[in-house]
């Protein structure tokens, strides 16, 4: 069974002044708090045990909103872990060691919106001996992202963070699946020049072991870390909700 980890820490400086009073993942996307969408992505993929990584100043807000997870289903369980300082995505995932060590786990960023279903990908991973999967999507400006290059079998060939000359047009999104060795590999990482444990460096370890694959996002992916991207994501959600009626 794959466990789920949602990264919802950080200071959200690009969304100030709104994030001076709450976490960006608790801001609304049309009719729901942002955090509801990555939660639903994991639930739709069959994940039932979810750890939410939060900043210390907003931990109580998340617990008040989400509780134990039973509001999403009687068999759903939420746990929480505090990330005292935002020291990188791989650092945040490392905080899930006591929650997921010895298990396969998925990481999703709390400010990412996916309008897609990944149940088949998660089921295949759970039944296989794969090492790690990066969910990628084609973008017009790959130099702004972590870029993954892969072959016809979806085996990764290279991965670069914001390259000046991208080797492909496929960007990493904020959704990944890892095998039981991920925490041992995180132990091998050293901080980057900006003082963080980088998720790309973690993926390079899997790449060196020929254990990194890509899977394509077939629907919508939207990062919501800026005012414009958040507005666009809210518009996508609004269109979906209005078309239900």
Please give the mean pLDDT across all residues of the chain.
Answer: 92
The boundaries of the domain holding residue 90 are 3-243
Q: Predicted confidence band at 12 (pLDDT cuts at 50, 70, 90)? A: low
Give me the pLDDT at residue 145, please.
86
Q: What is the pTM of this model?
A: 0.94
pLDDT at 86: 84
Task: Average the pLDDT over each of 3-12, 50-59, 111-120 and give the range with the smallest value.
Answer: 3-12
Considering its fold, how many domains does the chain have in total?
A: 1
3-state secondary structure the chain: CCEEEEEECCCCHHHCCHHHCCCHHHCEECCEECCHHHHHHHHHCCCCEEEEEECHHHHHHHHHHHCCCHHHCCCCEEEEEECCCCCCHHHHHHCCHHHHCCCCEEEEECCEEEECCCHHHHHHHHHCCCCEEEEEEECCCHHHCEEEEECCCCEEEEEEECCCCCCCCEEEEEEEEECCCHHHHHCCCCCCCCCCCCHHHHHHHHHHCCCEEEEECCCEEEECCCHHHHHHHHHHHHHHHHHCC
Q: Is the pLDDT of residue 110 over 90?
A: yes
CA distances from 208 to 150, 151, 178, 183, 212 (A): 14, 15, 15, 16, 8
103 vs 162 pLDDT, higher one: 103
In the prediction, which pLDDT does 76 show?
A: 96
Residue-wise pLDDT for 14-70, tens only, equals 777 766 777 888 989 999 999 999 999 999 999 999 999 999 888 999 999 999 999
Residue 245 has pLDDT above 70, yes or no: no
For range 138-155, the mean pLDDT: 90
Angle at 198 between CA 193 and CA 199, to 5 degrees: 165
Model pLDDT for residues 203-240, shown as the tens digit of each residue: 999 999 999 999 999 999 998 878 888 899 999 999 99
Whether the pLDDT of residue 182 is over 70: the answer is yes
- How far are the Cα atoms of 92, 93, 164, 197, 207 from residue 68, in angstroms, in the given order? 21, 20, 44, 29, 36
90 dihedral zone (left: phi>0; alpha: psi -120 to 50; beta): alpha
Residue 80 has pLDDT above 90, yes or no: yes
Residue 115 pLDDT grade (very low, low, confident, very high; cuts 50, 70, 90) = very high
pLDDT at 11: 64
Domain CATH number, residue 24 = 3.90.550.10
């Amino acid at each position: 069974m794959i466990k789920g980890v949602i990264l919802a820490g950080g200071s959200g400086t690009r969304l100030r002044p709104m994030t001076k009073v709450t976490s960006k993942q608790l801001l609304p996307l049309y009719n729901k708090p942002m955090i509801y969408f990555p939660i639903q992505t994991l639930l739709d993929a069959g994940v039932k045990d979810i750890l939410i990584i939060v900043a210390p100043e907003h931990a109580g807000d998340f617990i008040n909103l989400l509780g134990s997870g039973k509001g999403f289903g009687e068999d759903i369980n939420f746990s929480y872990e505090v990330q005292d300082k935002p020291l990188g995505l791989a650092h945040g995932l490392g905080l899930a060691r006591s929650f997921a060590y010895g298990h396969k786990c998925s990481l999703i960023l709390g400010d990412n919106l996916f309008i897609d279903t990944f149940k088949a990908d998660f089921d295949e991973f759970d039944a296989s001996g794969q090492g790690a999967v990066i969910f990628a999507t084609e973008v017009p400006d790959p130099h702004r992202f972590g870029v993954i290059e892969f072959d016809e079998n979806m085996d990764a060939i290279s991965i670069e963070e914001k390259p000046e000359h991208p080797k492909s047009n496929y960007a990493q999104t904020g959704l990944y699946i890892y095998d039981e060795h991920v925490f041992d590999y995180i132990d091998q990482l050293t901080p980057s020049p900006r003082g963080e444990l980088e998720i790309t460096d973690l993926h390079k370890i899997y790449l060196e072991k020929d254990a990194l694959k890509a899977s394509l996002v077939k629907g919508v992916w939207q990062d919501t870390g800026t005012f414009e991207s958040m507005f666009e994501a809210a518009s996508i959600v609004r269109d979906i909700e209005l078309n239900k009626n």
